[in-house]
């Protein structure tokens, strides 16, 4: 399957964080009450972690995208704890469109247990253009963050 240009939008309202790798970006949730995560791109759900905190998509162009909730904190041994405080609204095989609600994270509980209230997006495409800078405010499902080829 030939890969084509794909644009990923922010999966949550918040602040774009610095990232270590080219095909990854992170959004820190803007509001502790709103833990909704939306699809950054259209595609098919290929996997949903048991508690819903990690969801994998495959775009029509063939790119794989993984969304993960949480991070490491002082009281939290692994990001797995944060991902257990989520509820998925999709299942493997579902077709999703950009901006469609995928999951809800219980951000106040994640923070209580020392986790970070962030959503990490990883794609296996080659990033062509990063359209937003670290520290910029982004809107869920509306702000284009990165183009891939």
pLDDT of amino acid 136 = 92
C-alpha 110/C-alpha 103 separation (Å) is 14
DSSP 112: H
Residue 52 CA to its chain's centroid (Å): 12
Number of neighbouring beta carbons within 10 Å of residue 13 = 19
| Domains of the chain by residue range | 12-124
CATH of domain 12-124: 2.70.70.10
Separation of alpha carbons 63 and 126, rounded Å: 10
Q: Which two tokens stand for residue 53?
A: 């905190």
pTM of structure: 0.86
* Residue 61, both tokens: 């162009």
pLDDT in tens, the chain (149 residues): 455 788 999 999 999 987 767 788 889 998 766 789 999 999 999 999 887 788 999 999 899 999 988 754 444 444 556 667 888 999 999 999 999 999 998 888 877 777 778 888 988 877 667 788 889 999 999 999 988 87
């Amino acid at each position: 399957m030939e890969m084509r240009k794909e644009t990923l939008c922010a999966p949550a309202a918040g602040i774009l964080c610095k990232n270590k790798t080219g095909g990854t970006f992170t959004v820190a949730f803007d509001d502790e009450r709103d833990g909704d995560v939306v699809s950054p791109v259209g595609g098919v759900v290929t996997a949903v972690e048991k508690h819903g905190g990690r969801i994998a998509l495959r775009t029509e162009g063939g790119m794989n995208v993984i969304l993960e909730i949480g991070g490491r904190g002082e009281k939290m041994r692994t990001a797995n704890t944060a991902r257990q405080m989520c509820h998925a609204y999709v299942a493997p095989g579902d077709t999703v469109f950009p901006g469609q609600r995928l999951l809800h994270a219980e951000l106040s509980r994640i923070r209580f247990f020392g986790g970070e209230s962030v959503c990490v997006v990883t794609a296996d495409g080659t990033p062509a253009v990063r359209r937003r800078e670290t520290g910029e405010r982004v809107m869920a499902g509306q702000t284009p963050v990165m183009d891939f080829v």
